[in-house]
Amino acid sequence: MTQTVFVRKILKPVVFLLCLLPISLLAYDFFTDNLSANPLDDITDTTGTWTLRFIVITLCVTPVRRLTKWAPAGKFRRLLGLYAFFYGSLHFMTYLYFDKFFEWEEILPDIPKRPFITVGFASLVLMIPLALTSTDRITKWMGGKKWNALHRLIYVTAIGGVIHYLWLVKADTSRPLTYGAIVAVLLGYRLWVYLAPKIASLRMKQKSVSPQTERGQLAP
């Protein structure tokens, strides 16, 4: 069995099922009355936390692929990103249905009124074009450069998700700050990968110019 077949036939289905595990466990606890005295908080916290986790895991794919030189790792980025959108949609639907019962006259004023909802809603909206352009056909239609530029919105989504979580909690901010630190490292790595060749090129130019300058100064 080739590596490509192994990834497509075995590894991706396993990852797909593992990604369903959090919502499956949550559904099991819901239908067996194993949630806390406030099930709404349990559902909201679980779906929101896993949204941010999947965003972070998706951001980890590129560094893992580059550092390990294992190219098939990139094949999981789309799957993980779609699961981030899936859990984010469930998180928002929990707010719409269980909290507000689709009372739009309450929902619409509530979104701009509470900053953590505004940031969270904006982050989810930014994920919509990423989910809609996740197919191979649309990727080819857009072209690699435009597709990559669009999907850098996940950086903004990740930052927005951390801010949403940080503004939501009232006392213990250790968990959102931990996620924030991880996101900062992952984005910092990308910034370094982008800047490192430019810095190296600039240094090479400076080295090539320096001897010529010195010769010019020493010439009679």
Question: In three state form, how does the secondary structure of 90-137 look?
Answer: HHHHHHHHHHCCCCHHHHHHHHHHCHHHHHHHHHHHHHHHHHHCCCHH
| pTM to 2 decimal places | 0.89
Q: Give the tens place of pLDDT for each residue, 150-168.
A: 999 999 999 999 999 999 9
CA quadruple 45, 50, 51, 53: dihedral positive or negative?
positive
The Cα 170–Cα 33 span in angstroms is 27
Q: What is the pLDDT of residue 219?
A: 36
Give domain limits for the chain.
Answer: 3-218
Q: Give the tens place of pLDDT for each residue, 173-192.
A: 999 999 999 999 999 999 99
Q: Among 116, 129, 45, which Cα is nearest to 85's?
A: 129
All residue ranges of the chain with pLDDT < 70 are 209-220
Q: What is the pLDDT of residue 167?
A: 93
